[in-house]
A and B are shown apart, each in its own frame.
Chain A
Amino acid sequence: MGVGRLYTAVAAGGFRRYATYRAATAAGVFTNTAFGIILVYTYLALWDEKPHLGGYDQAQAVTYVWLGQCLFATLAISGGGVEKDLMERIRTGAIAIDLYRPADLQLWWLSTDLGRSLFQLLGRGVIPFLVGAVFFPMALPVDAGTWAAFLVALLLAMLVSFGIRYLLALSVFWLLDGMGVSQVLAITGIFFSGMSLPLNVFPGAFGEVVRFLPWAAQLQVPADVLLGETGLTRAFAFQAAWAAALLTAGRLLQSAATRRVVVQGG
């Protein structure tokens, strides 16, 4: 049917748009590889000191590092996805035009972002992961089932990631400036997603809280699925619940924002 085709086309557009930045993509691959190497060494030292920290062995910790580098751009963990364009359009008022488009605003941006995610995964994420797999011992599953489950977890992670960024981007309707929001996004994204340290290493009650926040659905849960460290039902339910909650909240905030635009006269 037509609607499905429309959003597929929008997603393809997002894919192609990011595919045009060749030099930037190459630079990103280089950066993620460099940071991966630095992190792997520190993790190896950490797990050397304390084997089975957070329930991972060394190979699993190494895998976690490279998965993080692989998903960093894919899930726009520190920002830099379509929410950047969205904030700019809100700031300049160009968003008013989008509202007249015969398409759902949230679905439109979600499709674009999924297209972007897919490109970042293939163009930017895979190579650092492969480099890691070649030069460091990794714990990769051999059965197709785990990989399939990982892909499901990854798709859910993309939804959660978009959900978080969409909410924050919409706040620009009220804040009028995206600078602070972007910064909040970057700080929380890197720390609470577990980019610098796996969330299951976080100690005590703080660890409990952090592992319950939506950011945990971005890197920690897909990693645990890939490493076979979690039950699938539990993992998927956690991710799906956050995705549903965030996307619903996004819809509510969006209609409030739209009313605001209409009241202001566009």
Chain B
Amino acid sequence: MNPIMNQDPAAPSSTPAPAPPPRAAAKPVALSVRDLRAGYAGGAAVLKGVSLDISERRVTAIIGPSGCGKSTLIRCLNRLHEALPGAFCDGQIMLGGRSVLDWDPVLLRREVGMVFQRPNPFPTMNIFDNVAAGLTLNGERDRAKIAERVESSLRRAALWDEVKDKLKSPGTGLSGGQQQRLCIARALAVEPRVLLMDEPCSALDPVATARIEELLLEIKETLTVVIVTHNMQQAARVSEYTAFMLSGELVEFGPTQGLFTKPADKRTEDYVTGRFG
């Protein structure tokens, strides 16, 4: 249904990868990042050449102290970073064998969805319209299809049972955790291949956090998740792969268990054992 989906994912890229990944993932690669540099208006680079491969249908966590560039990194993946005035981004990001910089950012973002730090349902829309927003704003008119997609997305976000009787009430009336799951449903309704999550639980209480972690385990069956978190336990619980970043550089990247139990780098060890600082 989406023209982009029909493209041959194996199409050769126009440029060869400049460097091998630090540690190749075992699974097929969903996103491959090479030598990514990025920064903000009038400032030095926040990302200083990051390369990593993100495996398909796995959860990849990005951890690191605040200011290390982890949010900037995932905001480059759906090119939301460059929507900020003066922000710059250089390097190569491949999605399905094609550089994301060759995509129209608008179409790219339908493939690479995002959930933000604070729940941000559209305040003028009810629950149904919030979930349907990605479809209706892009011109989908088929009501039956929209309704079906809203229900399935709410089910995948584990919110359907709680809201099915009040789909017409405002999304901002839900609790914080429900709002965040509503935002997840809204992102899923567009049927992206990749879901980026920028500290999705930092504004939530432990119970709401646990629910989101649970549903992550389910949705990764069908899509690739990249989650930025400042919470190492969360990374350990939900992810297969973890990347540790420090001052705009990727220090270490590998299977989560290995990174937490036998870190190869001293700095990683200091960070995961809490001796950082």
A, B assembled together: no
